[in-house]
Structure 1
Amino acid sequence: MKKFRLKILSFVVALCMTILPLGSVWGASPKSTYVALGDSISTGYLLSNVQKECFANQIAKYSGKTLINLSQNGMKTSDMLSILNSNDSQGTKYKNSIKDADLITISMGGNNVLSPLMTIIKTSLGLSSDATTEQVQAAIKNNPEASSKIYLELQKPQTLEILNKELQTFTTEYPQIIQKIKELNSDAIIMVQTLYNPFFGAPQYKPLADMAEPFVQLINQVITQSENSSCKAIDVYTAFKTDTSGQLLTNISKFDIHPNTAGHSVIFNTHKAVIDSMNPENNVSIQVLAGDSRYTTAIKVSQERFKDGEAKAVILVGKDAVVDGLAAAPLAIQEQAPILFADIKGLSIETIKEIKRALGNNSSSKTIYLIGGEGRISKLVEEQLKIEGIKLIDRISGKDRYETSIKIAKKLNYNYEQAFVVGGNGEADAMSISAKAAELKSPIVVVDKQSLNEEAKALLANKQIDIIGGVESISDKVKLELQDIDLDKSITRVAGTDRKSTNGMVIAKYYKIGTVTEVFVSKDGFVGGKDKLVDALAAAPLAGSKGVPIILTTGQISKEQQQSITSNLKGATKLMQVGNGINEKTIKMISELLQ
């Protein structure tokens, strides 16, 4: 079944990758030509105003380049390869255009299997091979068993044979196309779109969307894992999946998988983000570490930090347990462990794969830390880990968030002098200091607003204590208690008027200009709830390992954040966005402030 689903994937997606030649600089070439290659996505098929709405035309307008659109409806890899290998008039035009281009985009792959699949689907519905998409739509709507019929038809051996042949052709020809283009022009920036699921967001086709979804992700995983210094994917899949406009991005309501006007806008903006990051006027490179969920975003962060087998441990936090996990960043640095997320029902296949990849072949001798009680991470997770050969499982859990943070702090074996204290409801405050705490291997201790328990006093005695957060998180009464046990009897409180203000003040105090070459940006948890801080939680050990801060924002940045960026972070040359859902204009503004 898995093979079958993998093979039919190209029916529901348009395959793409991004190739970024090493050393290419946007606009460095005197050329100013943009060539669009590929299939009907690039032609703007079914758009009412191609000149205005097609993503290729939007790129041309935005970049100020002259567009030569050589894409063709129905084009397969064999068609393009044939043209590139031909010396006739069409082949000559293609090759000369590619040679003169400094930007090339490609949409390619869907037609390799689309034509035979559409014929098979039409046949399963009792329609002729030349039936229109409207007729297919009507046949599905009027037949409640249509999806089952399609599903069964696509499982037949002859179907698999056709798909295998077509996909093998694509697998063979696609690299040849890319190689041919690079031989013709090694300096051009080449962008090829990633997979998207056109059924997503259409309730009437939810069974098809659900069937395709895990395999769309699997294919995209293959694409991203094949990335290297000269091959990088533009994540159209995630852009479609996480779009919050509420609009359909394809014409799937008419059983047509092509992107509509809204879809082309999303495709354009995904390309635009890469173009912006290469603009020589913007010396700050922008990288995005984001999956389609908190689980896959954490996996991408883990992959950024650890090569295969490099991790010495793994820390698992419940998917909504920001409070439990907020003190875990220093432990993750000490134990050389990524922070990954677990659902209460168990670990996803992707997370299990990442645990095994990060730990390597000797995973049985390495520790998995479970942060929080069984109400956050169930016993089922432990059983899953044991099945995978993990023998060392250490659950760190207290009766409440305060005790859990203390138990995590006691795991730190570094002789730390500094300690950070946050309030029980100060998740955003903790995320602001998490990267610095991780860097210093200093504990983050969660305390009650009005009182300090004896265990916390014992842990914090004779340490240099900083409070992160205002009196609404930690009262002045508790501040006085902390002052009594502080090493030099003096407490520093870092606090702003809100979470973003506090974040700016943390950056201003703990990071000095000229020492930071990179900054991280993650959601602030203000929009959508505190659990949206999970991306920052996953990113904290990576940021801490680099000695760089995390800017917390979703929409606009605060006055304090602006001031700290220009005063303390100016000169950083890289911006790492962790997670989706951050306003694009805000990312651009931060990158400009860094210059």
Structure 2
Amino acid sequence: MFADAITASPLAKKLNNAPILLTEGNNLTTLTKERLQILGVKTVYIIGGTGVISNNIVNTLSSININSKRIGGVDRYETSIKVAKELTGGNASGMFVVSGDTFEDALSTAPIASKLQYPIILVAKNYVPASVKNYAASAKDKDLILVGGADVLDSNISNELKATKVYSQSDKYSRNLALINDFKGNLDLNKVLVASDSAFADALSGSALAGKSSNPIILLGNSNIDTISNFISKNDVKNVNVLGERGVISDNAVNSIIGTSTAPNSYLDSIADNTDLTDAQVDYLLSQLQGDWYKQIYLEDKKVSIPYDSKILHFNTKTSGKYQLITAYKNDAQLENIQKIQKNI
């Protein structure tokens, strides 16, 4: 459930930039299981109660020698409080409060909350759960930043929580950019991540990456492409990383966002197995991969066997003035996709 997972972004930052992996509620997905094994994970933090992630998953983790620690309450609101206490030990210097029924405002706060180590607390549209009231009362005189307009939160929520700052712009896109502009000093605007407002799984997985590198996440909808393009140009953004495949965010949308900015979009040429890569292509790959997350791209001297089907590229080291693509899983790969499956090298 997105509501539980999105509150984990600041905690993921605290836990040595741990990735946030998604799974089904009752069964550990094959891809997630393999990812845990490849990463050599020893402990998994399960965010959510047994109604969200069952004990069957705990048992599966145990069977592959991975310990688990569950952080979950009776509902999403109590879970967010328990995550907050795990993050801060109950002594937060501030907090973000967002709707627990939509993911966009929480996603907008994630990179900032991760940087500041502020918990992300969830409330209902028209009431503040008792667990949240108690936590907010214990954090008296601390920053309580409420993010949500009339489209997601009733006006009484701000007064009830005694918010010190409210972002109540009329839509999620305006709130998103208002947050980024106000917290520029805590963010690295050399790179931004763009996420669709309709694909929470892609956006959620990117929240840990954004938190790690303190890059903002910009929400993309059908009506705000020009606004995003102006923001990128005005702030001299150097790199734009897209969260999601073309079915989620089209090439036309990305090209419109980039506009006349100097920020690189992507190479559009396809590359097949055993293709020599130009220096320009390799320089692009290396520059885009710095500081990013998944170990899905490998710079190797020889072909490496990977036990799952994904878009994985293997390069040999530079010999005779050339890098060569050794294997491109799922047939041909496109260099533009590489931004979406990245790793530290």
TM-score range, shorter chain: 0.5 to 0.7
Q: Which amino acid aligns with 1:585?
A: N
- The question of 1:324 aligning with 2:8 is answered no
- Preserved contact between residue 193 and residue 243 of structure 2 (Cα < 8 Å): yes
Alignment partners' CA distance in 2, 1:434 and 1:555: 22
Instruction: Point out where structure 1 has 5 or more consecutive residues left out of the alignment.
Output: 1-320, 526-531
Q: 1:565 to 1:516 in 2, by over 3 A?
A: same
Change (3 A) 1:420 1:514: closer
Structure 1 residue 543 corresponds to structure 2 residue 196: no
**Which amino acid in 2 is paired with 1:471?**
A
Measure the CA separation in 2 of the matches of 1:564 and 1:594: 10
How far, CA to CA, are the matches of 1:420 and 1:579 in structure 2?
Answer: 26
Displacement of 1:514 in angstroms is 9.4
Secondary structure in 2 aligned to 1:411? Answer: helix
Alignment correspondent of 2:236: 571
Residue 270 of structure 1 is matched in structure 2 by: none
Distance in structure 1 (CA, Å) of the matches to 2:85 and 2:237: 35
Measure the CA separation in 2 of the matches of 1:448 and 1:421: 10
Q: Tell me the secondary structure at the aligned position of residue 88 of structure 2.
A: coil
- Aligned equivalents of 1:439, 1:513: Cα separation in 2: 7
Higher strand share: 2
- How far is 1:481 from its partner? 2.1
1:473 pairs with 2:149? no
Q: Of the candidates 55, 58, 62, which is equivalent to residue 386 of structure 1?
A: 62
Instruction: Provide the residue aligned with 2:33 in structure 1.
Output: 352
Aligned: 1:397 with 2:62: no
Report the structure number with the largest CA radius of gyration. Answer: 1
The equivalent residue for 1:312 is: none
What is the aligned partner in structure 1 of residue 97 from structure 2?
Answer: 421
Q: Any idea what the Cα deviations from partners look like across 1:514-551, whole Å, max 9, x if unmatched?
A: 941101112212xxxxxx21211111121111111011
Shift, 1:471, TM fit: 2.7
Pick closer, same or farther for the CA change 1:594–1:506 going to 2, 3 Å.
farther
For the Cα contact (< 8 Å) 2:229–2:258, is it kept in 1? no
CA-to-partner distance for each residue in 1:162-192, whole Å, 9 max, x for gaps? xxxxxxxxxxxxxxxxxxxxxxxxxxxxxxx
Structure 1 contact 420–443 (Cα < 8 Å) conserved = yes
Asked if structure 2 preserves the Cα contact closer than 8 Å seen for 1:396 and 1:408, the reply is yes
Residues 558 and 467 of structure 1: CA distance in aligned 2, closer, same or farther (over 3 Å)? farther
- Show the counterpart of 1:131: none
The CA distance in 1 between the partners of 2:185 and 2:116, in whole Å, is 15
Counting only pairs closer than 5 Å after superposition, residues 16-415 of structure 1 correspond to structure 2 as 321-336=1-16, 337-358=18-39, 360=40, 363=41, 366-390=42-66, 392-413=67-88
**2:143 counterpart of 1:464:** yes
Assess, with a 3 A threshold, how the Cα gap between structure 1 residues 513 and 379 changes in structure 2: closer, same or farther: closer
Residue identity over aligned pairs, in percent, reads 31
Aligned amino acid, residue 406 of structure 1: I
1:394 and 1:345 map into 2 onto residues whose CA distance is: 16
One-letter identity of the residue aligned with 2:15:
E
CA distance in 1, matches of 2:210, 2:61: 27
Query: What one-letter code is carried by the residue in structure 1 that aligns with 2:158?
Result: K
SS for the counterpart of 1:516 is coil
Q: Of residues 259, 268, 272 in structure 2, which corresponds to 1:592?
A: 259
Q: Which residue of 2 aligns with 1:315?
A: none
Displacement after TM superposition at 1:444 (Å): 0.6
Report the 3-state secondary structure (helix = DSSP H, G, I; strand = E; otherwise coil) of the residue aligned with 1:342.
coil
Cα distance in structure 2, aligned partners of 1:328 and 1:434: 9
Q: Answer yes or no: is the 8 Å Cα contact 2:225–2:253 preserved in 1.
A: no
**Contact map agreement 1:466 1:492 (CA 8 A) in 2:** yes
Equivalent residue number for residue 120 of structure 2: 444
Deviation, 1:497, is 2.5
Deviations 1:67-88 (A, max 9, x none): xxxxxxxxxxxxxxxxxxxxxx
The one-letter code sitting in structure 1 at the alignment partner of 2:258 is S
The answer (yes or no) to whether the contact 1:520–1:575 under 8 Å persists in 2 is yes
SS in 2 for 1:465: strand
The CA distance in 2 between the partners of 1:563 and 1:433, in whole Å, is 21
CA-atom RMSD, angstroms? 2.4
Q: Answer 1 or 2: which has greater helix percent.
A: 1
8 Å CA contact 2:232, 2:258 repeated in 1: no
For residue 499 of structure 1, what is the aligned residue in structure 2?
172
Scaled by the length of structure 2, the TM-score of the pair is 0.67
Q: Quickly say closer, same or farther: Cα 1:375–1:514, change in 2 above 3 A.
A: closer
CA distance in 1, matches of 2:112, 2:217: 9
Query: 1:379 and 1:422, CA in 2 relative to 1: closer, same or farther beyond 3 A?
Result: same
- Whole-angstrom distance in 1 between the partners of 2:177 and 2:230: 8
May I ask how many residue pairs the two structures share in their alignment? 255
2:149 and 2:101 map into 1 onto residues whose CA distance is 11
Distance 1:513 1:437, change over 3 A: closer
Contact kept in structure 1, 2:148 and 2:169, CA below 8 Å: yes
Partner of 1:582: 249
Measure the CA separation in 1 of the matches of 2:54 and 2:146: 33
Letter in 2 for 1:446: L
Structure number with greater CO (CA < 8 Å, separation at least 6) is: 2
- SS of residue in 2 equivalent to 1:341: coil
* Aligned equivalent of 1:509: 182
**Contact residue 225 and residue 256 of structure 2 kept, 8 A:** no
Residue 455 of structure 1 and its aligned partner are, at CA, apart by: 2.8
CA contact (8 A) 2:126 2:153 kept: yes
Report SS of the residue matched to 1:470. Answer: coil
Change in Cα spacing, 1:574 to 1:342, as seen in structure 2 (3 Å) is same
CA shift digits 1:420-448 (9 cap, x unpaired)? 00123232111111121122211010012
Distance 1:470 1:559, change over 3 A: farther
- 1:560–1:575 CA distance, 2 compared to 1 (3 A): closer
* Post-superposition offset of 1:405: 0.9
Amino acid at match of 2:122: V
Question: 1:428 & 1:328 partners in 2: Cα distance?
Answer: 15
Deviation of the 1:579 alpha carbon:
1.5
For residues 467 and 566 of structure 1, the distance between their equivalents in structure 2, rounded to whole angstroms, comes to 29
Q: d(CA) in 2 for partners of 1:369 and 1:467?
A: 27
Separation of aligned partners in 2, 1:482 and 1:508: 24
d(CA) in 1 for partners of 2:97 and 2:180?
16
